[in-house]
Amino acid sequence: MPTKIAELHDMARGHTRRRLVLAAAHDEHALGAVNNAYKNDLVDGILIGDEEKMRAIASGNNIDLSGFTIVNEPDNAQAAALAVKMVKNGEADILMKGNLGTSVLLKAVLNKEYGLRTGEQISHLAIFEIASYHKLIGLTDAAMNIAPDLNEKVSITRNAVRFFHKLGIEKPKIAMLSAVETVNPAMKSSMEASAIAKMGDRKQIPGCLIDGPLAFDNAVSSKSARLKGIDSEVAGDADILVADDIDAANALYKAFIYFASAQCAAVILGAAAPIVLTSRADSDDTKLNSIALAAASR
């Protein structure tokens, strides 16, 4: 497992450059992020949106658009549809959200005729570089699924495992989080964590090691696991944390960034190609890292 976010950038540069299509590209923050990724040799860019607005943004921010393919489509829904179709047809490898609502983009992604459905749940995966941890660590799902049921949580877990495989991690270690490390019938999180861990044992979720329930300290601290008498290949060495719901995951996500000064990258999974869906509140580094993460996958 890579230990630094910078290694993801190196991985992205280590193979054929990926083609990123930005839907509704007339957005200062998204356009700036794609331009930054292009200048850092991470991706080639296809910009679909209101060309007049794109060029005005570029002029005001010293962005040279000569290296990009530009498709003029002022209507956001149509821009999303065109971008998704380009990915579907193999003309682009990565989809990115520009100046349009997430629901508009996902409607195109899930379109039955030309969308990118795979049968899996659409889910969010963030990867962090934290100074106090010995490698990069993933967290899912902090942004898409509010209160996933057991089947949805299985799909979210599969998404994360398959993406880690694409990063070259053959057998990622998955910690199913709860507030406790023992099964308690009164706690849904512990029951579902136990069920998914057993599914991992039975190879129903292949290509990984899964344990749970694990409290957060047991998942990331071998000392804590040892003191609690937990015998586990995952405890203290987790690659991916699977939270019970969006509240727990989002709190961890923001604690990593604001309290632990973590470096972060994130992608949306479950579609036929990775989706970069950054927030305006994200730092420039996070936006660049997220594009690098999508481009690093094989």
Same domain, 92 and 158: no
How far is residue 68's CA from residue 38's CA, in Å, rounded to a whole number? 9
Same domain, 110 and 10: yes
Q: Which two tokens stand for residue 53?
A: 């607005």
Q: Is the pTM of this model over 0.85?
A: yes
Same domain, 109 and 208: no
State the DSSP string of 212-264. EEE-HHHHH-HHHHHHTT---SSTT--SEEE-SSHHHHHHHHHHHHHTT--EE
**Rounded (5°) CA angle 133-246-228:** 45
How far is residue 192's CA from residue 96's CA, in Å, rounded to a whole number? 33
DSSP strand E in 134-226: where? 137-140, 173-177, 209-214
Whether 116 and 271 have beta carbons less than 8 Å apart is answered as yes
Torsion of CA 12, 15, 19, 22, to 10 degrees: 0
Same domain, 158 and 289: no
Listed residue (129, 57, 60) closest to 99, CA to CA: 57
**Rounded (5°) CA angle 71-98-254:** 160
**pLDDT in the model for residue 1:** 66
Same domain, 73 and 164: no
Same domain, 106 and 167: no
Same domain, 63 and 171: no
Write the CATH number for 33: 3.40.50.10950
Whether 63 and 33 have beta carbons less than 8 Å apart is answered as no
Same domain, 280 and 251: no
Burial of residue 14, with CB atoms counted within 10 A of its CB: 0-12 exposed, 13-18 middle, 19 or more buried: exposed
Write the CATH number for 148: 3.40.718.10
Tens-digit pLDDT string for the chain (298 aa): 678 999 999 999 988 899 999 999 999 999 999 999 999 999 999 999 999 999 999 999 999 999 999 999 999 999 999 999 999 999 999 999 999 999 999 999 999 999 999 999 999 999 999 999 999 999 999 999 999 999 999 999 999 999 999 999 999 999 999 999 999 999 999 999 999 999 999 999 999 999 999 999 999 999 999 999 999 999 999 999 999 999 999 999 999 999 999 999 999 999 999 999 988 778 889 999 999 999 999 7
Q: Domains in the chain: how many in total?
A: 2
Q: Which helix (H) or strand (E) holds 22?
A: strand 18-23
Same domain, 131 and 238: yes
- Residue 177, SS3? strand
Q: Which helix (H) or strand (E) holds 285?
A: helix 284-296
**pLDDT in the model for residue 274:** 96
Residue numbers of the domain that contains 76: 5-117+272-296
Same domain, 145 and 240: yes
Same domain, 31 and 109: yes
Same domain, 75 and 181: no
